[in-house]
Amino acid sequence: MARTPLALPDFPWDSLAPYAERARAHPEGFVDLSVGSPVDPTPAVVREALSAATDAHAYPATAGSPALREAIVDWFARRRGVDDLTVANVIPTIGSKELVALLPFLLGLGKGDIVVHPRTAYPTYAIGGALVGATVVAEDDPALWPEGTSLVWVNSPGNPDGSILEVEQLRAAVARARELGAVIASDECYAELNWSGADPTPSILDPRVIAGDRSSVLALYSLSKQSNLAGYRAALVAGCSRLITELLGVRKHIGLIPPEPVQEAMIAALGDEAHVAEQRERYRARRSRLKPALERAGYRVDESGAGLYLWVTKGQDSWETVAEFADAGILVVPGTFYGEQPAQHVRIALTASDAAIAETVARLELLA
């Protein structure tokens, strides 16, 4: 029987290649503000923990070591205001993207199921649904989530737009998901990067949201952003103990196991708040330079209350804006990558060195 390849969309970043080439031709050099990949050093406390754990001769626990699970529980209590978790409510993951993409599969979803995600969203939510043959619906309003929905994704702070869901909005989302009998998963990877203050954005597991009832509720978090650990693939999921047990059972079968040295690094990262505060202030300083420079150059910054990006528009097609930036030697990402219709925004990353941000500001001044 002939094999039928998976019917997935083209990888969107491939379409950005001509603009990257155009930007690289700029005589003053190339500035990449497209991918949100950290450029600052991994904190010493984390690297030292990884190095000390390199004699990792035995298989690690898929569930995470007892010490790691306790560190996750403690972190949720200290930083997210979620003080009623136990080790039965948490497991580590190999970065957050694998769990976003695989969650429909891990939950046993397939053809006939509906996966809902935000209208302007990280594309992997839709890819995860497509991989299992589910119907994918982009909708922000809980009242419009369709009957038959099996999984709902919410994302706060949002990628690409930095939007924040407050406690009341999260509460309404959970209530509607429960009406539908759906699992609701909250992608909270940018929670520590809140520009309205030092406190993280609300978690879907906050007692004010779920009043202690974690049934069918999950929260995802990544250490890539807060601790510059993108290369470590270090993340976690927490929430409903029944779902955590279910996810763990499947992950054991298919070998989704974070390496032991990475688990030790995660313990160090979760236990040290000083490096997180330091990195937050680096990004805050870059944002405080870049945002007004964009506004002086005639762009409008929408949302962008948290996270690693600015969501920027000139009221024109997003590819026209991508081209304008490419002509200035700067690569940014069009809103079309994130399902925006019509796509008039571009996403601009703060993950660039201070020198690159300064160079961007200087070039924007010439456009003002």
Average pLDDT, the chain: 96
Q: Which CATH class is domain 44-272?
A: alpha beta
Q: Find the distance separating the first CA and the last CA of the chain, reported in whole Å.
A: 61
Domains 12-41+275-367 and 44-272 share a fold: no
Q: Return the SS3 of 186.
A: strand
Q: Which CATH architecture has domain 12-41+275-367?
A: Alpha-Beta Complex (3.90)
The number of CA neighbours under 13 Å toward the Cβ of 18 is 4
Q: How far apart are CA 168 and CA 230, in angstroms?
A: 31
Q: How far apart are CA 305 and CA 129, in angstroms?
A: 28
Domain ranges of the chain: 12-41+275-367, 44-272
Q: How far apart are CA 351 and CA 360, in angstroms?
A: 12
pLDDT digits (tens, 9 = 90+) for 147-186: 999 999 999 999 999 999 999 999 999 999 999 999 999 9
Is the torsion defined by CA of 24, 28, 34, 39 positive or negative? positive
pLDDT digits (tens, 9 = 90+) for 318-334: 999 999 999 999 999 99
The overall pTM is greater than 0.85 = yes
Res. 4: pLDDT tops 70:
no
330 φ, ψ (degrees, to nearest 5)? -120, 130
DSSP states of 15-40: GGHHHHHHHHT-TT--EE-SS----S
